[in-house]
Amino acid sequence: MELMKSENIVQDRQPQPQEEEEIMQQEEEEEQRFHVLAVDDSVIDRKLLEKLLKASSYQVTCVESGEKALEYLGLLHHSSPASSSSSQHHHQGHKVNLIMTDFSMPGTSGYDLLKRIKGSSWKDVPVVVMSSENVPSRISMCLEGGAEEFMLKPLQLSDLHKIQAHLLKSLPHS
Amino acid sequence: MDLVQLQRQFVDYKTSLYHEGFLDEQFTQLQELQDENNPDFVVEVVSLFFEDSERLLNELARALEQQNIDYKRIDAHVHQLKGSSSSIGAQRVQKVCIAFRNYCEEQNVEGCLKCLQQVRHEYSLVKTKLESLFQLEQQILTAGGSFPM
């Protein structure tokens, strides 16, 4: 039947050595870019944050809740920091260099997420907390809870420069 | 209308929107994020705002119709609306949300109902104005113009 022909199609289309090199180069470049996990329950703010981060050449993964973030980090069903994955800062092969989370989210709040992360094998990953409200007690609570930075929304391109400093700090020492 | 006239109209209209407080600096930030890779970024974000706002306004109306008003729930919705309007630069909508939240805290149903009316009004104004702005933009592009001008 005609469907069998798909095997031939796969066989005919072997990547040429030149293309293979390009693909490998692309994958290497992606690995070298910083990967940010962005957490926000607002679809508008997720879109904005994604654009801001991409405009600064970061790789971005957006999730819509604290629970989804914990799931992504493999922390959802484990009460202890022990994880089954091989090394720190890796999830299914993807590293996470920075986590940016909104403070006010239903369910698991940004603060809850911060505490969970700091009590886990991801504790060395910088966490930035964002909020539309300028509440001093909230700010100190987050900073004391281990947040690298507290940023007021809406974020602007200029705010991303501060982020860069934190990301560079997280690079392994040679 | 020729291209130059359209461009003039566009600039004047946009300036008036800032001047009258419908838009603030955050809207400018959105435009600065738009580039060749994402030529429809602003329209996309604003469309998300329209969808989200309409959902929230309906939720608010429903919540205020209840026998036992859940002010915490209303506050949560207004907080969301305040956040999204602030994120796109819809300043007048944002301002009404601030007043709205104060009435929630006081559990003042009259105040809340008035604010709902006000926020609906401001939302529909900014929606109309943004749609007109996008239309002008489109006309300029069709007439062979480009952005930024």
Average pLDDT, chain A: 83
Residue A44 within a domain: yes
Q: What confidence tier does A12 reach under pLDDT thresholds 50, 70, 90? A: low
**In order of start, what are the domains of chain B with their CATH numbers?**
3-33+40-138 (1.20.120.160)
Q: What CATH number should be reported for the domain holding residue A51? A: 3.40.50.2300
Residue A126 within a domain: yes
- At residue A29, the pLDDT reads 66
Query: Measured between alpha carbons, how far is residue A158 from residues A155, A163, B29, B38 in Å?
Result: 8, 10, 10, 20
Residue A58 within a domain: yes
- Name the residue range of residue A119's domain: 33-74+94-169
B38/A51 Cα distance (integer angstroms): 9
With beta carbons less than 8 A apart as the criterion, state whether A58 and A32 touch: no
- At residue B64, the pLDDT reads 97
In this predicted structure, the answer to whether residue A87 has a pLDDT above a threshold of 60 is no
Query: A44 and B45: CB-CB below 8 Å?
Result: yes
ipTM value > 0.85: yes
- Name the stretches of chain B with pLDDT < 70: none
Chain A environment of B35 (Cβ under 8 Å): 55
Closest by Cα among B73, B83, B96, B120 to A44: B83
- At residue A96, the pLDDT reads 94
Count of structural domains within chain A:
1
Q: What confidence tier does A78 reach under pLDDT thresholds 50, 70, 90? A: low
Q: What confidence tier does A170 reach under pLDDT thresholds 50, 70, 90? A: low
Percent of chain A with pLDDT over 70: 76
B134/A171 Cα distance (integer angstroms): 43
Question: Full-prediction pTM beyond 0.80?
Answer: yes
User: Computed over its alpha carbons, how large is the radius of gyration of chain A?
Assistant: 19
Query: What tens digit of pLDDT does each residue of B40-60 get?
Result: 999 999 999 999 999 999 999
In this predicted structure, the answer to whether residue A127 has a pLDDT above a threshold of 70 is yes
Residue A11 within a domain: no
Residues of B with CB under 8 A from a CB of A: 26, 29-30, 32-33, 35, 38, 41, 44-45, 48-49, 52, 76, 79-80, 82-84, 86-88
Q: What are the DSSP calls for B83-144, one per residue?
A: HHHHHHT-HHHHHHHHHHHHHHHHT-HHHHHHHHHHHHHHHHHHHHHHHHHHHHHHHHHHTT
